[in-house]
Chain A
Amino acid sequence: MNWQWFHRLGSPRWFYQKTQAWLPWLAIASVVLLVTGAIWGLGFAPQDAKQGNSYRIIFIHVPAAVLALVGYYVMAISGAIGLIWRMKLPFVVMRAAAPIGAALTFVALFTGAVWGKPTWGTYWVWDARITSMLLLLLLYIGVIALGQAFLQERTADKACAILALVGTVNIPIIYKSVDWWNSLHQPATIKLTESSSIHPSMFYPLLVMVVGFYCFYAWSLILHTRQQILVRERKTRWVQQMVASGSTRLVEEGGKA
């Protein structure tokens, strides 16, 4: 099997060059989708028969939680690829995914808390879903902290990857916690195998927001990765050339590379 394409993926410079053109499109897609979804969800979706307007938090709570979980797999799988193939780029992606995942987990927890008060009657309970989500936040913070604890980048990368991989067990636990145990949190609304238990007039804005959050995640991940690439590759000629030109844009000499 030809693995050349795969190893090219491991080149930070190739990544920096390739993603440059994607950034404006991802930015436009994210902003358009998120603004549309938010206005639709806040103002135009009908209110819920039981919860009234408080349910409008779902349009950010669910997408943030989905990306917090998906982002963990992004981080762990990048770490695994880095460990197995000893490539630079996957480790950078792994380290870049940690702060984004932590921020989105925080958003999911915070929006959940302010949604819980008007519906359940409390901001916080220690049920299986919420506690496992808090554990996810701690795992993300753990990866960030572990990455900063080592002087040597290679050692830090390996340690972070191992912690990220061990933590993957938490993801199915979070997802299934509401089915496996008695919890205050309700089961999933969007189901993969059966029809979702949300009216189409509320489902479409939610879908727009989920797609918007995916685009946003890609956008933010690429930005974080590019920043880390600059720092890690600062000794290379191509970064030095960018430093000399004073711009974060990589201009290929001789037009097309």
Chain B
Amino acid sequence: MHPVRKQRLILVLLLVTLSSAAIALITYALRQNIDFFYPPSKFAAEEVPHNVRVRAGGCVVPGSVFRSEESLAVRFSITDGVAQVPVKYTGILPDLFAEGEAAVVTGKLQSSGVFEAEQVLAKHDETYTPPEVQEAMVGDHTATCQGAGKAMASDY
């Protein structure tokens, strides 16, 4: 290779490396802010501020969903396998919201420890299966919070 071209190649590589390093440092410094939601274990560790708009995400604990009979109010708990956060919400839930599925809630943590949600989003996992196949794996039915669990595992 021609020495001038080699020099320009090195310059190009340097440009890419340095800019990548800069961005890597910035994203590393901001890693807390880039997380879309707090896992319940952060709530348990008292790392989440009270009465400030935040998001919490985790698996909807099977059997924890209680719907009010006269209004759209609903209560449920989310977990990351370490801790649980009780959530209160009034409104229409997304179609994919279900026990044993992941959900992300936006709202404020009350001093009582209950999370008052103003928005509930369903987080689905990355698996796609036809209904017949899904029914065949009955045992697996409740263990579908991989998406949420994985994101949280990478936190530690």
C-alpha gap A197/B39 in the complex (Å):
24
Q: How far is the CB of A121 from chain B (nearest CB, A)?
A: 3
Question: Is A4 an interface residue, CB under 8 A from the partner?
Answer: no
Q: Which residues of B contact A55 (CB under 8 A)?
A: 128
C-alpha gap A199/B136 in the complex (Å):
13
Q: How far is the CB of B109 from chain A (nearest CB, A)?
A: 16
Q: Is the CB of B128 within 8 A of A48?
A: yes
Q: Which residues of B contact A80 (CB under 8 A)?
A: 12
Interface contacts (Cβ under 8 Å), in number, total 139
Q: Is the CB of B150 within 8 A of A119?
A: no
Question: Is A220 an interface residue, CB under 8 A from the partner?
Answer: no
Q: Which residues of A contact B135 (CB under 8 A)?
A: 49
Q: How far is the CB of B83 from chain A (nearest CB, A)?
A: 15
* Number of chain B residues close to chain A: CB under 8 A: 51
Q: Is the CB of B23 within 8 A of A173?
A: yes
Q: How far is the CB of A198 from chain B (nearest CB, A)?
A: 4
Question: Is A24 an interface residue, CB under 8 A from the partner?
Answer: no
Partner of B16, one of A48, A49, A168: A168
Q: Which residues of B contact A85 (CB under 8 A)?
A: 5
C-alpha gap A179/B153 in the complex (Å):
10
C-alpha gap A187/B153 in the complex (Å):
13
Interface readout for B107-146 with A: 1 if CB under 8 Å, 0 if not?
0000000000001111111111111111100000000000
Q: Is the CB of A199 within 8 A of B8?
A: no
Report the contact-size class of chain A (Cβ under 8 Å from the partner): 35 or more
- Consensus secondary structure, chain A interface: loop
Closest to A54 in B: B95
Closest to A189 in B: B126
Q: Is the CB of A84 within 8 A of B123?
A: no
Q: Assuming the A-B contacts A85-B5, A181-B151, are A197 and B120 also in contact, with contact meaning beta carbons closer than 8 angstroms in the complex? A: no
Q: Assuming the A-B contacts A121-B94, A179-B154, A186-B126, are A165 and B35 also in contact, with contact meaning beta carbons closer than 8 angstroms in the complex? A: no
Question: Is A241 an interface residue, CB under 8 A from the partner?
Answer: no
Q: Which residues of B contact A51 (CB under 8 A)?
A: 96, 124, 128
Q: Is the CB of A199 within 8 A of B133?
A: yes
Q: Is the CB of A183 within 8 A of B121?
A: no
Q: Assuming the A-B contacts A119-B122, A119-B124, are A201 and B150 also in contact, with contact meaning beta carbons closer than 8 angstroms in the complex? A: no
Q: Assuming the A-B contacts A120-B122, A173-B27, A186-B123, are A199 and B129 also in contact, with contact meaning beta carbons closer than 8 angstroms in the complex? A: yes
C-alpha gap A114/B147 in the complex (Å):
21
Q: Is the CB of B154 within 8 A of A184?
A: no
Question: Is B36 an interface residue, CB under 8 A from the partner?
Answer: yes
Q: Is the CB of B37 within 8 A of A182?
A: yes
Q: Assuming the A-B contacts A169-B23, A169-B24, A186-B147, are A197 and B122 also in contact, with contact meaning beta carbons closer than 8 angstroms in the complex? A: no
Q: Is the CB of B104 within 8 A of A184?
A: yes
Q: Which residues of B contact A170 (CB under 8 A)?
A: 23
Extra pairs beyond A51-B96, A83-B12, A165-B16 (16, CB < 8 Å): A47-B131, A49-B134, A51-B124, A83-B11, A118-B95, A119-B96, A121-B93, A121-B95, A168-B16, A182-B38, A183-B36, A184-B104, A189-B128, A199-B130, A199-B133, A201-B130
Pull 7 A–B residue pairs with CB atoms less than 8 Å apart, ordered by A.
A49-B135, A85-B5, A119-B96, A125-B36, A165-B19, A182-B152, A199-B133
Residues of A within 8 A of B (CB): 1, 3, 46-51, 55, 58, 80, 83-85, 118-122, 125-128, 162, 165-166, 168-170, 173, 178-184, 186-189, 197-199, 201-202
